[in-house]
Chain A
Amino acid sequence: MSNTHADTVLFVRDTMLPQQEPPASTVGALGWAKANLFSGWFNTTLTILSALFILYLLSGLVPWFASPTWYAASLTECREILAGHEGACWGVIRERWLQLMFGFYPSELYWRPVLALVLLFVAVAPVLFADYVPSKLLGFTALYPFIAVWLLWGGTIWAPVMALLGFVVAFFVFRYASKQISPALALIAGVIAALLWWMVITPAITPDLSRLLPIGIEAVQSRQFGGFMLSITIGVTAIMCSLPIGILLALGRQSDLVLVKAICVGFIEFIRGVPLITLLFVASTLLNIFMPPGTNFDIILRVMIMVTLFASAYMAEVIRGGLAALPKGQYEGADSLGLDYWQSQRLIIMPQALKISIPGIVSTFIGVFKDTTLVSIISMFDPLGLSNAIRADTAWNGVYWELFIFIGAVFFIFCFSMSRYSMYLERKLQTGHR
Chain B
Amino acid sequence: MTTLTDPPAESFKLSMLIYDTRYRSITFQTIALIAFLLLIGWLINNTAQNLVDLGKEPSFGFMNEPAGYDINQRLIEYNSQSSHLRAAFVGLLNTLLVAVLGCITATVVGVIVGVLRLSGNWLVARLMTVYVEMFRNVPVLMWIVLAMAILIEGLPSPRDFRGEDAVASMSVFDSVAVTNRGVYVPEPLFARGLGDVSVGGLFEISLDLIAILVVLGGGLFVSNLIKKRADVTQNATGVRPRTWHLRTGVIVVPLLILLVILGFHLGYPELSGFNFSGGIHLRNSLIALWLALSLYTAAFIAEIVRAGIMAISKGQTEAAAALGIRPRRIMSLVILPQALRVIIPPLISQYLNLTKNSSLAIAVGYMDITGTLMGITLNQTGRELETVLLGMLIYLSISLIISSAMNWYNSRVKLVER
Give chain A's interface residues, CB within 8 Å of chain B: 35-37, 39, 43, 46-47, 50-51, 53-54, 181-182, 184-185, 256-260, 263, 270, 272-278, 281-282, 285-286, 288-293, 366, 370-371, 373-374, 376-377, 384, 387-388, 391, 398, 400, 404, 407-408, 411-412, 415-416, 419
Contact = CB atoms under 8 A, between A and B. Distances in A.
A273 B46 contact: no
Contact of B139 (A39, A256, A371): A371
A412 B370 contact: no
| B interface SS class | helix
A263 B32 contact: yes
6 contacts: A46-B121, A47-B124, A54-B127, A257-B29, A275-B356, A370-B137
B414 to A, nearest CB: 16
B153 A274 contact: no
B78 interface: no
Contact of B46 (A37, A290, A376, A419): A290
A370 B137 CA distance: 8
Contacts of A293: 46, 49-50, 53
B360 A374 contact: yes
B374 A281 contact: yes
A46 B127 CA distance: 11
B396 A270 contact: yes
Contacts of A36: 120-122
B280 interface: no
B309 to A, nearest CB: 18
Contact of A51 (B29, B43, B123, B133): B123
A416 B360 contact: no
A277 B46 contact: no
A370 B121 contact: no
A182 B396 contact: no
A43 B374 contact: no
Contact of A412 (B138, B356, B388, B391): B138
Nearest to B389: A286
Given A274-B356, A404-B149, A377 B363 contact: yes
Contacts of B32: 257, 259-260, 263
B283 to A, nearest CB: 19
Interface in B132-188: 133-134, 136-142, 145-146, 149-150, 153
Give the interface size bracket for B toward A.
35 or more
Nearest to B296: A370
A276 B363 CA distance: 14
A374 B370 CA distance: 13
B105 interface: no
Contact of A289 (B123, B149, B385): B385
A411 B356 contact: no
A257 B301 CA distance: 37
A46 B119 contact: yes
B299 to A, nearest CB: 12
Contacts of B43: 290
A373 B137 contact: no
A384 B141 contact: yes
Given A286-B385, A293-B50, A366-B137, A384 B28 contact: no
Given A370-B140, A412-B138, A182 B120 contact: no
A275 B357 contact: yes
B396 A50 contact: no
B121 A377 contact: no
Contacts of B134: 412
B354 to A, nearest CB: 11
Interface in B363-396: 363, 370, 374, 378, 384-385, 388, 391-392, 395-396
Contacts of B384: 281, 285-286, 289
Contact of B399 (A47, A272, A408): A272
Given A37-B123, A282-B388, A387-B145, A277 B359 contact: yes
A391 B145 CA distance: 12
A278 B395 contact: yes
B51 interface: yes
Nearest to B119: A46
Given A47-B124, A404-B149, 15 more contacts: A36-B121, A46-B123, A259-B32, A272-B399, A273-B395, A275-B356, A275-B357, A275-B359, A288-B50, A290-B43, A293-B49, A377-B363, A384-B145, A400-B146, A407-B142
B400 interface: yes
Most buried by A among B120, B122, B137, B391: B137
Given A273-B400, A275-B395, A419 B370 contact: no
A281 B388 contact: yes
B141 A278 contact: no
Contacts of B127: 50, 53-54
Contacts of A398: 153
Given A36-B122, A50-B124, A289-B385, A278 B46 contact: no
